[in-house]
């Protein structure tokens, strides 16, 4: 671990400064704190991580100058932005948040000076961000405005190794055109905007809602240029894509002698959409395509990194389990990267070793990783470290560099959830016991709520000992609700209550953020939520405490953090309440004295809960279906393409496939989705129960009715009609919640 004393730091002043500029950090201040842009000075003491392949830990010092300015010094741009964040959060008590935006400007007009310096050092050289699928579950339709906020959020938290996975289709088009594939053969291979992550993984091919247009491909390529340029300006090393080996089926037409295999099927998708063709890395053409891809990408983006993301078997079974075969695949892939970029480092997700553990025996893992003969030429992302770490059973990935990461949720599930002990204690223990651990990171499938547990891990990357969470939560709440006067104690009490319960899951059977059963296809069995990690009374109490806080400080209703959290906690409150209401319905249905009247009343209770919750969710754009659909439509002015993009967006959060192959996996508790999708499904279910009181229950018959509705909803309200309705909803959160309080005391 690299710990420098202040005098050693001073001795390194100006070392290597010529190769870096602090302008990117100054620009961040200009964007987020324009009234204070002249109140800060930034000074590089020595080059740190940069774009090098031998990174060092980052260090910063924040002090006040004789003329009252805030001086931030550090050995890298990432250290400077992290030092800036430390000052803003610990001294000014302001921050940037997901879905709320920058609250940095709600601090005092005169910035506080420091009586003594603030110092900090990272305990790992790399801080990583993004799951590959986050680009589809959350960022599929992000504009540059969203990306600007995201990148500032990352920079301030010290992230210096983000995945930059936007727009690679443009490079692939050019590479495939170069070897003679036609535009139709190439375009028909790509998947729609909301499913591109799995197309890049080789899980799926093609699109079931329309054809990905060149307009989208070109626009995303331009967006990637902006994203990577800003990453570099902020001192980050982008992780860029490369050629993985997945190719259109027509590859055999232009390369008839190429060694190709068809991959395994994925989640029971029809064969036309899966079994993706894979060009074996041992084939001579593989290295040529790799060189072409990396060269064209460098021409487009510049020589900005040597780290490339490459996953060949993410939920795909290899063609053979033979050890020599697996070793040759990775060896030849590695050699193709080194031939294209002699300093190349291969980054891969370690998810395959967990998700397909029956195939990936220890000897097969060792053979595959062993094909990369230089350990420093590979970085493995231990994707699910907080719940299912793989580094111990693989002997730290047999010496490969690796990252300890927090997954936390699947498909962007919104349930309140966390494992605060695992994400503070476990990474420190791993760092002690594994010499090849080089970073911590966030690998959530969807970048949704529960932001505090993601902040916690990134902050743990700057603390040698496990963070004390009680103080951490208190300070986080302080800056969360800054800007609207005194923060009532009820808010601190509510968050402390949730810290020790909701966010402190220690039940090994609960592995990630939960979803409400009302988001699942209705049935009479298999839907009881029996593994809650906390009592529902906790959320009810937290709800009332948080609501009461605004009674003593009404200005909280104008605070975007408070608005978001009240909706989120209400969502969880109703989710837990719905579970009880569902139990009552099924118990009555199964009883010997079940009656239509009682079932009808209990069924109306279910839909009434959802209708009320829908009205709460619609008060906040972060919980509104229209936000997701409007973003999809805004990607183009072409009405036909708008309808395709909206269909794609609808399909991902519901059926996830042409016929519900992964139905409800990416479900969301969103206003408009409840009233338009979940309520009708539950009405169909209740009506069916009323019918079958006099005949036997037949799930095949019920599921057929549900699927007909679900398929129809995919295209219902295209051309913007749903969005217009939702956008007209009044912002009356306070009034709605007052009614909720009266009903659920």
Q: Which of 18-27, 199-208, 329-338 has the lowest mean pLDDT?
A: 18-27
Question: What integer pLDDT is reported at residue 744 of this predicted model?
Answer: 80
Question: What integer pLDDT is reported at residue 693 of this predicted model?
Answer: 86
Q: Which of 114-123, 202-211, 423-432, 720-729 has the lowest mean pLDDT?
A: 720-729
pLDDT tens per residue across span 422-438 = 999 999 999 999 999 99
- Of the pLDDT bands very low, low, confident and very high (cuts 50, 70, 90), residue 414 is very high
Q: Which of 330-334, 436-440, 741-745 has the lowest mean pLDDT?
A: 741-745
Q: Which two tokens stand for residue 575?
A: 């989710």
Sequence spans of domains, the chain: 6-121, 126-467, 489-743
- Tell me which DSSP letter residue 20 carries: -
CA dihedral 44, 45, 48, 51 (to 10 degrees): 40
- Of the pLDDT bands very low, low, confident and very high (cuts 50, 70, 90), residue 118 is very high
Average pLDDT over residues 15-19: 42
Q: Which of 42-51, 152-161, 370-379 has the lowest mean pLDDT?
A: 42-51
Sheet with 118-121: list strands edge to edge: 40-44, 70-74, 59-64, 118-121
- Tell me which DSSP letter residue 278 carries: E
CA–CA separation, 603 and 626 (whole Å): 27
Average pLDDT over residues 198-226: 98
Average pLDDT over residues 473-485: 96
DSSP string for 430-480? HHHH-TTEEEEEE--SS--S-HHHHHHHHHHTT-SS---HHHHHHHHHHHH
Domain 126-467: which CATH number of 3.40.640.10, 3.40.190.80, 3.20.20.80, 3.40.50.1820: 3.20.20.80
- In CATH terms, the fold of domain 6-121 is Chitobiase; domain 2 (3.30.379)
Q: Which helix (H) or strand (E) holds 103?
A: none
Question: What integer pLDDT is reported at residue 533 of this predicted model?
Answer: 85
Tell me: pLDDT of 720 over 80: no
Sign of CA dihedral 299, 302, 307, 312: negative
CB 71 within 8 A of CB 62: yes
Q: Which two tokens stand for residue 173?
A: 């088009």
Question: What integer pLDDT is reported at residue 505 of this predicted model?
Answer: 95
CA–CA separation, 82 and 95 (whole Å): 12
Question: What integer pLDDT is reported at residue 5 of this predicted model?
Answer: 33
Tell me: pLDDT of 201 over 70: yes
Average pLDDT over residues 298-322: 98
Average pLDDT over residues 293-321: 98
Percent of the chain scoring above 90 in pLDDT: 90
CA–CA separation, 659 and 157 (whole Å): 41
- Of the pLDDT bands very low, low, confident and very high (cuts 50, 70, 90), residue 284 is very high
- Tell me which DSSP letter residue 132 carries: T
What is the value of pTM for the model shown?
Answer: 0.95
Q: What is the mean pLDDT of the chain?
A: 93
Using alpha carbons, list the distances in angstroms from residue 453 to 93, 385, 459, 505, 573: 18, 14, 10, 12, 20
DSSP string for 338-356? HHH-TT-EEEEETTHHHHT
**Strand spans (E) along 255-327:** 260-262, 277-279, 307-309
Q: Give the number of other CB atoms < 10 A from CB of residue 738.
A: 12
Tell me: pLDDT of 173 over 90: yes
CA–CA separation, 297 and 295 (whole Å): 5
Residues 6+ apart with CB under 8 A from 742: none
Domain 489-743: which CATH number of 3.90.550.10, 1.10.3720.10, 1.20.120.670, 2.40.50.140: 1.20.120.670
Tell me: pLDDT of 530 over 90: no
CB 617 within 8 A of CB 700: no
Question: What integer pLDDT is reported at residue 695 of this predicted model?
Answer: 77
CB 408 within 8 A of CB 388: no
Q: Is 267 helix (H, G, I), strand (E, B) or coil?
A: coil
Average pLDDT over residues 38-63: 79
Q: Is 134 helix (H, G, I), strand (E, B) or coil?
A: helix
Tell me: pLDDT of 631 over 80: yes
CA–CA separation, 577 and 517 (whole Å): 11
Main-chain phi, psi angles of 305, to 5 degrees? -160, 165
Tell me: pLDDT of 716 over 90: no
């Amino acid at each position: 671990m690299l710990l420098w004393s202040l005098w050693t730091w001073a001795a390194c002043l100006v070392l290597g400064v010529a190769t870096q500029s602090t302008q990117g950090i100054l620009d961040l201040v200009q964007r987020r704190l324009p009234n204070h842009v002249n109140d800060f000075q930034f000074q590089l003491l020595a080059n740190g991580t940069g774009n090098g392949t031998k990174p060092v830990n980052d260090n910063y010092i924040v002090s006040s100058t004789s003329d009252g300015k805030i001086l931030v010094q550090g050995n890298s741009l990432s250290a400077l932005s992290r030092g800036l964040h430390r000052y803003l959060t610990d001294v000014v008590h302001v921050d940037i948040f997901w879905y709320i935006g920058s609250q940095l400007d709600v601090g005092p007009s005169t910035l506080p000076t420091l009586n003594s310096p603030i110092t900090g050092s990272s305990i790992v050289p790399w801080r990583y961000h993004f799951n590959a699928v986050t680009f589809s579950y959350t960022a599929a339709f992000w504009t540059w405005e969203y990306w600007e906020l995201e990148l500032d959020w990352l920079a301030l938290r010290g992230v210096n190794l983000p995945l930059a996975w936007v727009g690679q289709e443009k490079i692939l088009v050019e590479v495939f055109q170069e070897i003679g594939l036609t535009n139709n053969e190439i375009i028909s291979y790509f998947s729609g905007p909301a499913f591109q992550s799995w197309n890049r993984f080789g899980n799926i091919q093609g699109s079931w809602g329309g054809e990905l247009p060149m307009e989208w491909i070109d626009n995303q390529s331009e967006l990637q240029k902006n994203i990577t340029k800003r990453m570099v300006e902020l001192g980050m090393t982008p992780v860029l894509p490369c050629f993985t080996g997945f190719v259109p089926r027509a590859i055999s037409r232009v390369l008839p002698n190429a060694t190709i295999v068809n991959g395994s099927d994925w989640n029971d998708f029809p064969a036309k959409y899966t079994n993706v063709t894979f060009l074996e890395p041992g084939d001579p053409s593989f290295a040529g395509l790799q060189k072409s891809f990396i060269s064209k990408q460098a021409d487009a983006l510049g020589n900005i990194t040597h780290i490339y993301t490459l996953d060949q078997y993410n939920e795909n079974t290899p063609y053979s389990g033979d050890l020599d075969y697996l070793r040759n695949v990775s060896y030849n892939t590695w050699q193709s990267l080194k031939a294209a970029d002699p300093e190349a480092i291969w980054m891969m997700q370690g998810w395959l070793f967990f998700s397909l553990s029956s195939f990936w025996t220890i000897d097969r893992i060792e053979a595959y990783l062993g094909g990369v003969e230089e350990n420093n030429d590979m970085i493995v992302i231990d994707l699910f470290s907080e719940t299912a770490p793989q580094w111990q059973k693989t002997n730290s990935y047999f010496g490969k560099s690796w990252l300890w990461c927090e997954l936390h949720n699947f498909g962007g599930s919104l349930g309140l959830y966390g494992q605060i002990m695992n994400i503070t204690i476990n990474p420190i223990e791993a760092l002690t016991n594994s010499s090849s651990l080089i970073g911590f990171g966030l690998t959530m499938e969807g970048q949704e709520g529960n932001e505090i547990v993601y902040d916690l891990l990134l902050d743990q990357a700057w603390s040698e000992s496990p963070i004390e969470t009680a103080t951490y939560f208190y300070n986080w709440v302080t800056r969360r609700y800054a800007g609207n006067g005194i923060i009532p104690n009820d808010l601190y009490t509510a968050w402390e209550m949730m810290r020790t319960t909701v966010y402190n899951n220690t039940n090994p059977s609960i592995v990630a953020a939960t979803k409400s059963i009302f988001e699942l296809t209705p049935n009479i069995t298999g839907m009881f939520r029996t593994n809650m990690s906390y009592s529902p009374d906790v959320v009810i109490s937290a709800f009332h405490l948080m609501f009461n806080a605004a009674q003593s400080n009404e200005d909280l209703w104008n605070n975007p953090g408070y608005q978001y959290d009240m909706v989120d906690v209400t969502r969880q409150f109703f989710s837990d309440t719905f579970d009880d209401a569902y139990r009552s319905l099924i118990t009555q249905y199964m009883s010997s004295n079940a009656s239509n009247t009682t079932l009808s009343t209990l069924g109306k209770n279910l839909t009434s809960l959802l209708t009320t919750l829908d009205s709460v969710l619609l008060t906040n754009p972060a919980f509104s279906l229209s936000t997701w659909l409007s973003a999809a439509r805004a990607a183009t002015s072409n009405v036909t393409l708008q309808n395709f993009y909206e269909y794609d967006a609808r399909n991902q959060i519901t059926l996830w496939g042409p016929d519900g192959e992964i139905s409800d996996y990416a479900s969301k508790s969103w206003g408009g989705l409840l009233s338009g999708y979940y309520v009708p499904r539950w009405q169909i279910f209740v009506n069916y129960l009323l019918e079958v009181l006099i005949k036997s229950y037949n799930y095949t018959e019920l599921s057929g009715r549900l699927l007909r509705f679900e398929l129809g909803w995919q295209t219902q309200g295209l051309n913007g009609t749903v969005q217009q309705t939702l956008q007209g909803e009044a912002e009356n959160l306070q009034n709605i919640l007052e009614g909720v309080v009266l009903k659920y005391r």
